[in-house]
């Protein structure tokens, strides 16, 4: 790995650390770095608490878990995006390409229609996403192999079906559907330490597993047949990457709603900087995804405070122009 790649990794890591510290100070209640340091040292048992109880609760119960959840969800979407782009051999692929977002949306709206508490939106979204992914993979098998093309096309078909049903249910719910619509547009404001604990273990393990297959994903860039000749167990790799990506993205949807463009934009930024070597692209994208979503969430909750904008609006506003730029760039290459 050359010095440029190490330098990019170091810079983005430092930016993430400093941004986390800065974001802790932002909000309707101003809290200084000194107060934050005192709270953290007190939690470690190294000093007495010298700040108000209100400041302590805001940092420990509100801002800190929200920041950690943003890091987890951002890392998940970016890492899964890299994996999907490699498997589909399509730089325009993203974590939602096989219908995860549409099935998750349907699950959330179904929970709303059944008049369940908002906490069940994520549960239903997670379950429906896994069921959909299992169905897609089962029907995409041709003989002993799974067809990526059939998987993609079936995903598009099911996405359209889920989308129509979801829109129908929301339409007839009227104004009462506001809470689920906000959730569908991406929301991290209800993050708690309990949710962070439940999400962190499978997400971190999933990201590590995908990184373990970095060499195999490099081989996939040459095509499935060539990867097989180079010693890659193609079918096993596809099952693992698709399965793990679906699992961790479903978890991120369950705790953060539908947040678009992270898995598309972030991998491309680093691809332009360091190339297609997944051994460095994957960890860089994980860190970059965490950084991008943390910034987006901070903007969403502060730009017109005390009103909060759904985070999906921010990521789409920044990601859509970049997506158009990528399309135009590919067009120039093809001409």
Q: Report the b/e string of 77-107 with b at 16+ CB within 10 A.
A: bbbbbbbbbbbbeeeebbbbbbbbbbbbbbb
Residue 201 belongs to a domain with what CATH number?
A: 1.10.3470.10
Domain count, the chain: 1
Rounded to an integer, what distance in angstroms lies between the CA atom of residue 243 and that of residue 241? 6
Burial tier of 17 (Cβ tally within 10 Å: 0-12, 13-18, 19+): exposed
Could you report the per-residue pLDDT of 2-18, keeping only the tens digit for each?
777 788 888 999 999 99
Q: Is residue 303 part of a domain?
A: yes
Q: Is residue 32 part of a domain?
A: no
Alpha-carbon distances of 305 from 27, 242, 308, 310, rounded to whole Å: 8, 39, 6, 12
Sign of the four-CA dihedral 174, 176, 180, 186 = positive
Confidence of residue 334 (pLDDT cuts 50, 70, 90): low
Q: Is residue 56 part of a domain?
A: no
Q: Of the candidates 28, 312, 257, which has an alpha carbon nearest to the alpha carbon of residue 124?
A: 257
pLDDT at 49: 77
Rounded to an integer, what distance in angstroms lies between the CA atom of residue 239 and that of residue 241? 6
Confidence of residue 73 (pLDDT cuts 50, 70, 90): very high
How many Å separate Cα 18 from the centre of its chain? 21
Rounded to an integer, what distance in angstroms lies between the CA atom of residue 85 and that of residue 326? 14
Give me the phi and psi of 145, to 5 degrees please. Answer: -110, 155
Q: Is residue 112 part of a domain?
A: yes
Confidence of residue 74 (pLDDT cuts 50, 70, 90): very high
Rounded to an integer, what distance in angstroms lies between the CA atom of residue 218 and that of residue 169? 43
Rounded to an integer, what distance in angstroms lies between the CA atom of residue 109 and that of residue 167? 9
Cβ neighbors of 186 (< 8 A, separation 6 or more) are 256, 257, 258, 259, 260, 310, 311, 312, 313, 315
Q: Is residue 20 part of a domain?
A: no
pLDDT at 69: 95
pLDDT of 232 above 70:
yes
pLDDT at 282: 94
Could you report the per-residue pLDDT of 178-213, keeping only the tens digit for each?
777 887 788 898 888 988 998 899 999 999 999 999
Range(s) of the domain holding residue 127 = 66-334
Cβ neighbors of 260 (< 8 A, separation 6 or more) are 94, 96, 101, 186, 312, 315, 316, 319
In three-state secondary structure terms, 32 is: coil
Rounded to an integer, what distance in angstroms lies between the CA atom of residue 115 and that of residue 133? 26
């Amino acid at each position: 790995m050359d010095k440029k790649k190490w330098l990019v990794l170091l810079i983005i890591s430092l930016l993430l650390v400093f941004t986390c510290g800065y974001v802790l100070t932002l909000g309707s209640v101003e809290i200084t770095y000194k107060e934050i340091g005192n709270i953290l040292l007190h939690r470690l048992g190294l000093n007495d608490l010298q700040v108000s109880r209100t400041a302590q609760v805001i940092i420990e119960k509100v801002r800190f878990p929200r920041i950690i959840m943003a890091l987890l969800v951002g890392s998940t979407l970016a890492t899964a995006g890299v994996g999907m782009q490699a498997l589909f051999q399509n730089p325009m692929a993203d974590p939602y390409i096989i219908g995860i977002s549409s099935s998750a949306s349907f699950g959330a709206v179904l929970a709303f229609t059944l008049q369940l508490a908002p906490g069940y939106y994520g549960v239903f979204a997670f379950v429906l996403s896994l069921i959909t992914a299992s169905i897609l993979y089962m029907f995409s098998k041709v003989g002993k192999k799974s067809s990526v093309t059939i998987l993609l096309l079936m995903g598009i078909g099911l996405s359209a079906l889920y989308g129509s049903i979801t829109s129908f249910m929301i339409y007839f719910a009227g104004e009462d559907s506001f809470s689920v619509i906000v959730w569908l547009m991406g929301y991290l404001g209800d993050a708690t330490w309990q949710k962070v604990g439940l999400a962190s273990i499978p997400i971190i393990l999933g990201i590590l597993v995908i990184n373990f297959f970095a060499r195999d994903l490099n081989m996939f860039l040459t095509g499935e047949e060539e990867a097989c000749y180079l010693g890659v167990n193609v079918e096993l790799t596809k099952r693992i990457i698709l399965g793990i990506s679906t699992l961790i993205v479903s978890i991120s949807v369950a705790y953060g709603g539908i947040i678009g463009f992270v898995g598309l934009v972030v991998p491309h930024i680093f691809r332009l900087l360091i190339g297609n070597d997944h051994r460095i692209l994957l960890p860089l994208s994980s860190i970059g995804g965490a950084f991008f979503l943390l910034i987006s969430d901070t903007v969403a909750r502060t730009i017109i405070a005390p009103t909060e904008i759904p985070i999906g609006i921010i990521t789409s506003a920044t990601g859509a122009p970049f997506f158009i730029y990528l399309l135009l760039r590919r067009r120039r290459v093809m001409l």
